[in-house]
């Protein structure tokens, strides 16, 4: 690559993702991979043949023993007794995709055992996140004996103490960071509990729930529960739920998660669950799902119900056995998703106006925006889009008009958002989350001091260059190297996502040919090298904007960065570059 480091059309510096060693180059050659893969192997930390083999061919046999998680043995022993005695069990789930898929997973498993679980999904607006005292009392009054929380509960000290007092035994399955004393629960299964030595910390809630079922299924088998003609549930059939929840929660797609998601996506081509099939049809998706389709098409649809106060819709969809009911639920979620999109766009415009009117942007290490009338169910999505646009940690707060606010935040790489929020703990009525995302509640009178403390706390974490937008790439290739064979090699790295990004390649010194607009949003074009070889290319959502404008000008030579795929259109397939960024060529010196 050239040594010049000028900014791109998107205002970003381009940086090589990792530096390959001789070992990585030898490993790429050993596995018959394109030399570009040496950089990719280095970035993934794959240092020997066994690690590369495990990464390229993830197997369920590679999963760690679920009993290596603290309290798993206690949870299994109690659930076996509940199954054998036919006790009433409830699942208490969160209202996001991770919580919905976790709840659906448990419902389907226990249904296969011949038991129907009581399901409790809290109302986002009136109850908020996680177990609450009133909900625990309601479940106890209904005769529930055991409660399993999924994707929540690890910090619900008051609610779980209330549960204990009314005779409920609670098994917490969660993955969120924990602070202070452990809540009063029969078992707390969480890879991120302070005393946990389980090596894989980045599981989603649905992954933890699946691990509970792995251990429970084994325990029931050892107790000969399936010996008297009872069918043993095949857990692999529900890995598609695990994949959806893990991807939608932006959990890292390496290690244990990679195994679960890879096998879950393989089973998504012809799902046994009518709800997932209806959801795919509603999103106009066919065949085996890809991680990007789950993240940007299925996940938002499942989430839409919970964001707009109908959290049970997703659970109903993913657990119904009635195909017609599934279609109706999928259509209802489709409508909620359209409503969510309109709310999101309106709130995003208003938030950007606040930022534009605030002034002194260079002094802001992190942004806090707030307004009355913003929907609390959408603030997390808006925070994510703002963080990407501003390249700063962002907190978006919905004020209720009665002196209270609920906030949701998203971070950027290298900044621990939860630590910055925790620095302002005395100003908050509640908070929680992890490095990349956090939620909080506060009184309106504390909004301004919270903003100041949050901004300072972010500033204290900064190192030079951390707030400069960067596009990471994996290497430069000649245009003629972008081929079906290369795309096939890249496909071996699937599923792509957090911790396993899709490879980004750079084409140097190319020109844009025949740039045109598609649907007033996307820029379709061809790229040509100095020998007039051409490559099909498209920049999604680039118009209006600096990238779309730069491509449409079509003047001079560019370096273009993007990912590679196979485009299918009218029964024809072609290799295509998905353009992520571009910059004018400056200078001609080469490394």
- The answer to whether residues 280 and 379 belong to one domain is no
CA distance 534 to 487: 17
**Which residues, 6+ apart, have CB-to-CB distance to 325 below 8 Å?**
316
Q: What are residue 453's DSSP bridge partners?
A: none
Give one DSSP letter per residue of 302-357, joined into a string: HHHHHHTT-THHHHHHHH---HHHHHHHHHHHHHHHHHHHHHHHHHHHHHHHHHHH
Quick one: how many helices (H) and strands (E) in the chain?
20, 18
Instruction: Give the helix, strand, coil percentages of the chain, each rounded to 5.
Output: 45, 20, 35
Domain boundary residue, one of 398, 429, 461? 461
Distance of CA 257 to the CA centre of its chain: 12
Q: What pLDDT sits at residue 555?
A: 72
C-beta atoms surrounding 263 within 10 Å = 18
**Euclidean distance between CA atoms 523 and 582, whole angstroms:** 13
Is 391 in the same domain as 276? no
Does 375 share its domain with 249? no
Best CA proximity match to 188, nearest among 213, 138, 152, 135:
152
**Residue 224 is assigned to a structural domain of this protein:** yes
d(CA 198, CA 200): 6
Residues 276 and 294: their CA atoms lie apart, in Å, by 11
Residue 434 in any domain: the answer is yes
pLDDT for 196: 95
User: Are the C-beta atoms of residues 290 and 268 closer than 8 Å to each other?
Assistant: no
Which tens digit of pLDDT belongs to each residue from 189-210? 999 999 999 999 999 999 999 9
SS3 at position 469? coil
The tokens describing 415, both together, are 């900044």
Q: How many CB atoms lie within 10 A of CB 555?
A: 10
Per DSSP, 233 falls in state P
Taking residue 79's Cβ as centre, other Cβ atoms within 10 Å add up to 25
- Tell me the CATH number at 396: 3.10.310.30
Half-sphere exposure of 318 (CA within 13 A, CB side): 32
Q: CA-to-CA distance for 482 and 527, rounded, in angstroms?
A: 12
Question: What is the distance between the alpha carbons of residues 79 and 71, in angstroms, rounded to a whole number?
Answer: 12
The answer on 480 and 401 residing in a single domain is no
Residue 42 falls within a domain, yes or no? Answer: no
Phi, psi of 562 (to 5 degrees): -175, 180
Based on the number of CB atoms within 10 Å of its own CB, is 578 exposed (0-12), middle (13-18) or buried (19 or more)? Answer: middle
Residue at a domain's end among 461, 490, 508 = 461
173 lies in the same domain as 74: yes
Element (DSSP H or E) covering residue 89: strand 89-93
Within a domain: residue 590? no
Domain C-terminal end among 438, 461, 484: 461
- Residue 2 is assigned to a structural domain of this protein: no
Distances (CA, A) of 417 to 19, 36, 218, 394, 591: 28, 34, 38, 9, 38
Length of the chain: 591
Same domain, 187 and 313: yes
Q: Hey, what are 15's tokens?
A: 């940086």
Would you state the pLDDT for residue 156? Answer: 92
| Displacement of CA 70 from its chain's centroid (Å) | 25
- Peptide bond just before 486 cis, omega within 30 deg: no
How far is 89 from 149, CA to CA, in rounded Å?
11
> CATH number, domain at 77?
3.90.1640.30
Please confirm whether the linkage preceding 194 is cis (ω < 30° from 0).
Answer: no
**Two tokens at 240?**
């598609």
Say yes or no: 104 and 223 in one domain: yes
Say if 353 falls within a structural domain. Answer: no
Please count the structural domains in the chain.
3
Give the separation between CA 31 and CA 54, rounded to whole angstroms.
Answer: 12
Domain span holding position 272: 62-334
Residue 569 β-bridge partners:
572
Identify which of 409, 406, 429 has the alpha carbon closest to the alpha carbon of residue 419. 409
CA distance 92 to 150: 6
Looking at the structure, tell me whether residues 488 and 575 fall in a common domain. Answer: yes
Buried b (16+ CB within 10 A) or exposed e, 3-17: eeeeebbbebebeeb
Q: Name the stretches of the chain with pLDDT < 70.
A: 1-5, 309, 360-362, 587-591
Under 8 Å between Cβ of 240 and 265: yes
Give the pLDDT of residue 359.
73
Rounded Cα distance, 249 and 380, in Å: 12
Residues 310 and 398 in one domain: no
pTM equals: 0.89
β-strands 522-528, 505-518 pairing: antiparallel
- DSSP label at residue 296: I
pLDDT of residue 541: 85
Based on the domain organization, do 451 and 569 belong to the same domain?
Answer: no
Tokens linked to 500: 């396993």
Pair (417, 520) in one structural domain: no
CB 249 within 8 A of CB 98: yes
Residue 133: half-sphere exposure toward Cβ, Cα within 13 Å: 5
Task: Tell me the CATH number at 505.
Answer: 2.40.50.460
d(CA 502, CA 550): 24
Whether residue 217 is contained in a domain is answered as yes
Same domain as 474, residue 455: no
Classify residue 383: in a domain, yes or no. Answer: yes
């Amino acid at each position: 690559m050239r040594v010049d480091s000028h900014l791109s059309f998107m205002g970003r510096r381009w940086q090589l993702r990792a530096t390959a060693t001789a070992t990585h180059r030898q490993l790429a050659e050993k596995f018959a991979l394109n030399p570009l893969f040496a950089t990719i192997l280095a970035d993934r930390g794959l240092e020997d043949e066994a690690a590369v083999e495990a990464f390229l061919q993830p197997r369920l046999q590679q999963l760690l023993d679920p009993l290596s998680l603290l309290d798993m043995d206690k949870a299994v022993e109690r659930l076996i007794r509940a199954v054998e005695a036919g006790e009433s069990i409830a699942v208490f789930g969160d209202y996001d995709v991770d919580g919905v898929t976790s709840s659906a997973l448990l419902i389907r498993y226990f249904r296969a055992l011949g038991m129907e679980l009581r399901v409790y999904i809290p109302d986002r607006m009136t109850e908020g996140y996680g177990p609450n005292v009133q909900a625990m009392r309601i479940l106890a009054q209904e005769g529930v004996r055991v409660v399993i929380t999924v994707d929540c509960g690890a910090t619900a000290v008051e609610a779980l103490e209330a549960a204990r007092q009314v005779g409920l035994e609670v098994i917490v399955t969660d993955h969120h960071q924990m602070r202070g004393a452990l809540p009063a629960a029969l078992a707390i299964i969480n890879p991120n509990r302070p005393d946990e030595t389980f090596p894989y910390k980045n599981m989603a809630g649905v992954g933890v729930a699946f691990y509970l079922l792995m251990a429970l299924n084994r325990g029931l088998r050892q107790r000969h529960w399936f010996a008297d003609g009872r069918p043993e549930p095949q857990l692999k059939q529900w890995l598609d739920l695990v994949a959806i929840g893990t991807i939608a929660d932006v959990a890292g797609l390496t290690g244990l998660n990679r195994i679960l998601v890879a096998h879950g996506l393989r089973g998504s081509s012809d799902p046994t669950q009518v709800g997932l099939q209806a959801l795919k049809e509603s999103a106009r998706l066919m065949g085996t799902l890809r991680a990007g389709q789950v993240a940007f098409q299925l996940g938002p649809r499942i989430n839409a119900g919970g964001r707009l106060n109908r959290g049970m819709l997703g659970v109903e969809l993913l657990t119904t056995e009635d195909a017609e009911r599934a279609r109706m639920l999928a259509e209802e979620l489709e409508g909620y998703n359209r409503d969510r999109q309109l709310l999101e766009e309106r709130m995003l415009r208003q938030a950007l106006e606040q930022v534009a009117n605030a002034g002194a942007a260079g002094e802001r290490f992190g942004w806090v925006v707030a307004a009355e009338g913003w929907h609390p169910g959408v603030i997390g999505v808006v925070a994510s889009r703002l963080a990407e646009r501003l390249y700063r940690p962002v907190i978006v707060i919905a004020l209720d008009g009665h002196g209270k606010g609920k906030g949701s935040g998203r971070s950027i790489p290298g900044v621990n958002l939860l630590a910055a929020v925790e620095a302002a703990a005395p100003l908050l009525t509640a908070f929680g989350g992890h490095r990349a995302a956090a939620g909080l509640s506060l009184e309106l009178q504390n909004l301004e001091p919270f903003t100041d403390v949050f901004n300072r706390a972010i500033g204290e974490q900064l190192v030079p260059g951390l707030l400069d937008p960067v596009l990471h790439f994996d290497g430069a290739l000649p245009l003629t190297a972008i081929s079906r064979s290369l795309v096939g090699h890249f496909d071996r790295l699937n599923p792509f996502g957090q911790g396993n990004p899709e490879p980004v390649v750079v084409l140097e010194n190319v020109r844009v040919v025949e740039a045109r607009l598609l649907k007033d949003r996307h820029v379709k074009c061809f790229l040509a090298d100095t020998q007039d070889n051409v490559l099909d290319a498209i920049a999604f959502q680039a118009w209006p904007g600096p990238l779309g404008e730069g491509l449409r000008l079509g003047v001079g030579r560019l370096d273009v960065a993007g990912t590679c795929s196979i485009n299918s259109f009218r029964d024809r397939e072609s290799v295509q570059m998905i353009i992520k960024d571009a910059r004018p060529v400056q200078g001609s010196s080469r490394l």
